[in-house]
Amino acid sequence: MNNYWQNAISFDEYLKIAEERFHNNPDKNDEYQEYYELGLTRTNRTVKTFKVDADQLEKLKAKNFNGKILIISEPWCGDASATVPAVSKFFEAAGIEVRVFMRDSDLSLIDQFQTNGTQSIPKVIIINEDFSVKADWGPRPQHGNDLLKKFKENPETYPKDDFYNDLQVYYAKNRGKDAIEEIIDLL
């Protein structure tokens, strides 16, 4: 885990990569190119609207957590654009070091934290001081998982477009609060 941590980047560096890939992607065949603009717009909105919740900060302090937060992500991911900025800003404000590991740079990390056999992101890895894994969270808060389950159980009555819309409206209104609460609960 220490090796992955050393190869991870700050949230600000992650944001710079997102901007570079949107404006001047060195990979001209990037299959996710069309998603960078939307992801960057949503990420920037989350950064601008995010406010540290004092109650969550107190709850976190009561946990006496002295580890680190490692987030597996990519800037094209819709779930990541809503949660990664909020989780990063919250834990940084609490004095906990946060880094982002680019999923597609080395799939061996995400393969250790798959969700139902998929490499879904973002994944938040809670790391103890000795770099052992305490817990992991992701790729979305429970409400988002409930919406996904509703879509998968009956796409005829709850089509994909409705699912995506409902999920993004939820993310915009929730501003990362549920994700942060669920992560704190794992500490």
- Whether the pLDDT of residue 27 is over 90: the answer is no
Does residue 69 lie in a domain region?
A: yes
Count up the domains in the chain and report the number. 1
Q: Is residue 153 part of a domain?
A: no
Residue 107 domain flag: yes
Q: Is residue 159 part of a domain?
A: no
- Is 115 within a domain? yes
Decide if 64 is inside a domain.
Answer: yes
Cα–Cα distance for residue pair 71/98, rounded to 1 Å? 8
DSSP 81-102: HHHHHHHHHHHHHTT--EEEEE
Tens digits of per-residue pLDDT, 138-162? 999 999 999 999 999 999 999 999 9
Confirm whether 67 is domain-assigned. yes
Is 0.85 surpassed by the pTM of this model? yes
User: Residue 53's domain is classified under what CATH number?
Assistant: 3.40.30.10
Q: Residue 29 falls within a domain, yes or no?
A: yes
Range of the domain at 42: 2-139+179-186
pLDDT 10s digits, 66-85: 999 999 999 999 999 999 99
